[in-house]
Homo-oligomer: A and B are copies of this chain.
């Protein structure tokens, strides 16, 4: 947002692009499609963005920067490992609910980044996953968690949180808060009674 609260043309383009990329994919969306949603001709958009690639780049790295920052904050909180994992799951779901199309693009269309940026993006995600897995491993070592394989637990959590992007719509019977609670219960306590 600008100081007067009105989004810039560039922000509108990025936002409409993310919605279209989510629905039709990066390659399946044309600059003309985006322009149609924004309300200008495709050629005019080049006064606000450099290329189609750059739109994708902005979306993907904005999201990955948020993830990295969130992980760092949680790592420094004085909480048990179980509580840290809970916070991270909540943050994942909240980001998805608030920024659905962008998260979706960063999850699926990142692979269309040009080679050097793709490498950067993949490394950022690897760092994030490594930090997350370390929290799980530490929880296992501390006796808080069951003797799970940290990698399996990590990807199970990260994936289990992804379906929210396909499913959650604000007017649903479940609120975002209830959704968080249910997913956390399922992942931390499991399906079966013991």
Q: Is there an interface contact between A146 and B108, defined as CB atoms closer than 8 Å?
A: no
B-side contacts of A6, CB under 8 Å: none
Q: Is there an interface contact between A188 and B187, defined as CB atoms closer than 8 Å?
A: no
Q: Secondary structure at chain A's binding surface: helix, strand, loop or mixed?
A: helix
Q: Is there an interface contact between B145 and A183, defined as CB atoms closer than 8 Å?
A: no
Interface residues of A in 1-56 (CB under 8 A from B): 23-25, 27-28
**Distance between A121 CB and nearest chain B CB, rounded to angstroms:** 15
**Distance between A193 CB and nearest chain B CB, rounded to angstroms:** 6
Of A58-66, A67-75, A94-102, A152-160, which stretch is located at the interface? Answer: A152-160
Q: Is there an interface contact between A190 and B187, defined as CB atoms closer than 8 Å?
A: yes
Q: What 5 A-B pairs come out closest when comparing CB atoms?
A: A190-B190, A159-B163, A27-B27, A155-B163, A152-B182
- Since A146-B192, A155-B167 are in contact, a sample of 19 more A-B pairs with Cβ atoms closer than 8 Å, ordered by chain A residue number, is A25-B25, A25-B111, A28-B112, A139-B191, A144-B193, A145-B191, A145-B192, A148-B186, A152-B174, A152-B182, A152-B183, A156-B163, A156-B186, A162-B162, A187-B190, A187-B191, A189-B190, A189-B194, A194-B194
